[in-house]
Structure 1
Amino acid sequence: MQVKIDTKEKFHVITPNEPVLSATMTDQMDAALLPFLQKEVKNVILNLHAVEEIDAAAAAKLLQIQQYFYENNASFVTCNIQKTVNAFLAEHELDELLNIAPTESEAWDIVQMEEIERELLDTEDIEFTDTGNE
């Protein structure tokens, strides 16, 4: 799977240069996206502006990858979804499960808000632990 990678301070923007995401690409999706969890900056924005078609297996794989990111305290936001892809996701009731932003800029905002939320939760956990030791 051909992708463009744009690295920012708090996230990576991954843009597939493929018009179709299909079942045959699910292993390639893992290979392209999961290594970011091993980096210092783990958050990913998946920009699908070039993707015109997706099948059920590829959509399910995106959902699985998204869940894996959140299980590992990292954000995964999909943005710039074409109308045909959005219609497919809605038809299969996946649009409600995926973390989707209309634009890349709004996806940036979501990642930054989730980062702040994680930092606050970490701070609360530390304060609670410190208070509990007294």
Structure 2
Amino acid sequence: MQVKIDTKEKFHVITPIEPILSATMTDGIKVALLPFLQNDVKNIVFDMSAVTAVDVDAAELILQIQHDFYEANASFVCCGVNETVEAFLADNELLELLNVAPTQSEAADIVQMEEIERELMDDDVLE
């Protein structure tokens, strides 16, 4: 899967270039996203603004990857989901499970808030 990567201070914006995320791309999706868990900056904003269709296997994999990020104390927020993809995700009962923001800016805000939350939780554990 080809992606555009834009690195910010607290997160990476990963934008798939292909308009369709299909089941045949699941290995490519893993290769594109999971290595970021090894970075100092682990948080991902997955910008789906160029994506016009997603199949169930790819959507379920994205949900699993989101889970993997949160298990590793990292954020994973999708943004730019168009109406067609959003309706598909809702119909397959995946939309409410995914962390989705309307815009990249709002996704960045979520990442920042989750970073603060993790820092506060770490402080509580240390006390």
The corresponding residue for 1:131 is: none
The corresponding residue for 1:91 is: 91
- Residue 18 (structure 1) shift: 0.6
Q: Which runs of 4+ in 1 moved over 2 A?
A: none
Distance 1:42 1:26 in 2: 20
The corresponding residue for 1:23 is: 23
- Residue 32 (structure 1) shift: 0.1
Distance 1:3 1:86 in 2: 20
| Letter matched to residue 120 of structure 1 | L
Q: Rg: which structure is higher? A: 1
| Letter matched to residue 114 of structure 1 | E
Distance 1:26 1:37 in 2: 17
Residue by residue over 1:57-108, the C-alpha shift from the partner in whole angstroms, topping out at 9 and shown as x without a partner, is 0000000000000000000000000111001000011110000000000000
The corresponding residue for 1:126 is: 126
Aligned residues: 127
The corresponding residue for 1:54 is: 54
The corresponding residue for 2:3 is: 3
The corresponding residue for 1:63 is: 63
The corresponding residue for 1:130 is: none
Distance 2:21 2:82 in 1: 12
Query: Equivalent residue of 1:96, what SS?
Result: helix
The corresponding residue for 1:132 is: none
Q: Which runs of 5+ in 1 are unaligned?
A: 128-134
Distance 2:123 2:27 in 1: 37
CA-based RMSD of the aligned residues comes to: 0.3
| Letter matched to residue 15 of structure 1 | T
Distance 2:102 2:93 in 1: 17
Identity percentage of aligned residues: 67
